[in-house]
Amino acid sequence: MPASSKVARPWKDRLVPDLSQSELQDLIDEADFGAMSLDTNVFHKLNYNLESKLLREMSQFPNHGIRHLVTDVVAGEVRAHMIDSQDQAKVELRAALRRFVIARGLQKTERDRIGSEIGLDKDVEEAVFERWLEFAGATDLEVLGGTPADGDALVRMYFSRTPPFEARADKKHEFPDAIALLTLEAAGEDMGKYVLAVSNDGGWKLFASTSKWVVIIDDPKAAVGLLHTADAIAGERALALLADEDAGMRDDVDAAIGDFLDDYYPEIEAESYMDFNADFEGASLVDVEPVDPSSASVLASDTETVTLAFDIHLIVEMRARFIFQVEDAVDGEAVSFGAREVTKSQAMVLPVTLVALRTQDGSTGAVSVNIEQGRPQTVNFGFVEPKL
């Protein structure tokens, strides 16, 4: 049983989203957590980028005696999403490369050479599995295999609409969640310690409210931050410098935002009474909201630096050029009907990791700033029409 079983845990009578930071910290400090585990939606939010700094910081849990686990269900879902995404990108890239070669008047051998250099012919499943194995090795990840031994419990949960099963027609799609949660529950019981599961899924949270061994937290940054409460003062000092417009820290973050926006290329949506082609022209920063210190977490630390993770909220002006066209009634060819540039202000949230010195010693800048590449965004420019 957990070392803290002798202490009253009133939070187990509440929905886990109400669990306080201090109660979570108690479980960490008393070594009551035997493992932590990520749900698929954490990987999804990070666009299945296994090289993400945030995902790589999961390696810290084994260093604190807490196993880093995923169920085979989650591992399978993550790899399946990665394969689907790469298959689609591969088709689009082949088509774009073919058009480029024709437009430039190049030989087919040039297309084949370029494709070979970027690994276009490599088997997608093999490439994904290699990345997964590398990620697992780098973060000391263990995959829990098999399905829960108690199949009767799974069936009872399904028909009684016990979380994560919900009262809807397609609840059969929640079987993977139920299998994953029962697997984590069994792992916790086997260890005699709690499992810290990271998920923003409502079904997972409701399951944890009645679970004996699974505790849910919805933010991976906050989960890692539980390991670094002693570094909070150094983190607060870095955030204070970030709030100071005259400090180098602010300039470094603004430069990282600028670099991110320079490479930003969203999908474009719009409506019009005419056919059109749209090209994204760029994005310009309009405003940056101050960082909420309570939303920041310490991801890592050493004798010289502290690594913070937080979200930055922006207002960005998006620009796109719309080229309108109509079909010629005689020959059916598309005839240009003018073009115009359209702007749209849009809110953005960027996940940032910032490395700062523990003691500034006259320096107010960051050691490094990294902005995570999240899910691709879509910008809707609304109704557009040519200038008449």
Per domain, the residue ranges of the chain are: 3-80+120-218, 230-383
DSSP 3-state assignment of 340?
strand
The total of other beta-carbon atoms located within 10 Å of residue 347's CB is 11
Residue 325 has which token pair?
């066209």
CA geometry: angle 104, 108, 109, nearest 5 deg: 115
What is the reported pLDDT for 146?
Answer: 60
Mapping DSSP onto H, E and C, the string for 296-338 reads: CEEEEECCCEEEEEEEEEEEEEEEEEEEEEEECCCCCCEEEEE
| 37 within 8 A of 217, measured Cβ to Cβ | no
Write down the architecture of domain 3-80+120-218 according to CATH.
3-Layer(aba) Sandwich (3.40)
Is residue 32 within 8 Å of 2, Cβ to Cβ? Answer: yes
> Over its length of 388 residues, how does the chain's per-residue pLDDT go in tens digits?
444 333 334 334 433 434 566 777 777 777 788 899 999 999 998 989 999 988 998 998 898 888 999 988 889 889 999 999 999 988 888 888 888 888 888 888 888 888 888 888 888 999 999 999 999 999 999 998 765 544 455 445 443 445 544 444 444 445 677 788 888 988 998 998 889 999 988 888 888 878 888 888 888 888 888 887 767 777 777 888 888 877 788 889 999 999 999 989 888 999 998 889 899 999 999 999 988 887 788 888 777 888 888 999 999 999 999 999 887 766 667 677 888 999 999 999 999 999 888 765 666 678 889 998 777 788 999 999 888 6
Q: How many other β-carbons are positioned within 10 Å of the β-carbon of residue 189?
A: 12
Cβ neighbours of residue 304 under 8 Å, at least 6 residues apart? Answer: 357, 358
- The pLDDT assigned to 165 comes to 47
Nearest to 62 by CA among 83, 36, 85: 36
* CA dihedral for 224, 230, 233, 238, sign (positive or negative): negative
Give me the residues paired with residue 194 across strands: 33
Q: Which of 173, 166, 167, 168 is nearest to 207 (CA)?
A: 166
Query: What global pTM score does this model have?
Result: 0.70
pLDDT of residue 330: 67
Contact in structure between 77 and 176 (CB atoms under 8 Å): yes
DSSP string, 175-242: HHHHHHHHHHHHHHHHHTSEEEEE---HHHHHHHHH-SSEEEES-HHHHHHGGGGGGHHHHHHHHHHH
The identity of residue 131, as a single letter, is R
Give the 3-state secondary structure of residue 8: coil
Rounded to whole angstroms, how far apart are CA atoms 264 and 305?
Answer: 30
Cα 238 from Cα 357, distance rounded (Å)? 8
Q: Please compute Rg for the chain using Cα positions.
A: 25
